[in-house]
Amino acid sequence: MEPTGSSGDALSEGAAAGDGAFDLSTAVSQLASNNTDVRIMLKVLVSQLADVLGDRMVVERAGRFRKSDEVRSVRVSLGDDTLEAVVEGATVRCTIGHSSGGIRIRSQQVSMDEWLTRLLSALQSEAANSERTRAALENLVIGGTS
């Protein structure tokens, strides 16, 4: 992902305000504009978040006999929510499931923007207590190395 380098970065604006927060809609827009190909965007998400999320993220790669680095699907478990994105041709089907007591009680299909917003929101909450998550979130939104 190319660093944007502009002073209007979503994280920079929040940091300047001194509250450590950032504008989620700006962050989602920035991610989408930097990665117009959803396959590339998912690959970037997976590479940036793999260490931070560990076994809370399950990735299925393309290629039946010879695995490639292309992402076929990604499932992220954060608290009672499970966010799943599945590549279907040129599009991505995104769902968010909610569980209670280990039983899924709701699942809804959402847009990629909504999916990214929910993912970034959950990571933002986690970043308040984890330097590692904060650094991964910064790399994801403003670019850099993981």
**pLDDT at position 95:** 97
**pLDDT at position 52:** 85
With contact defined as beta carbons under 8 Å apart, do 57 and 75 qualify?
A: yes
**pLDDT at position 26:** 60
* Count, residues in the chain: 146
CA pair distance 76, 87, nearest whole angstrom: 15
**pLDDT at position 76:** 95
Strand 81-88 with 103-110, pairing = unpaired
For 59, the token pair is 């990735």
**pLDDT at position 141:** 66
**pLDDT at position 94:** 95
Q: What is the pTM of this model?
A: 0.69
**pLDDT at position 7:** 34
**pLDDT at position 112:** 86
Residue ranges in the chain whose pLDDT is less than 50? 1-22, 35, 145-146
Location of structure tokens 């590692």: 132
Amino acid at 38: V
**pLDDT at position 29:** 60
With contact defined as beta carbons under 8 Å apart, do 72 and 65 qualify?
A: no
**pLDDT at position 136:** 77
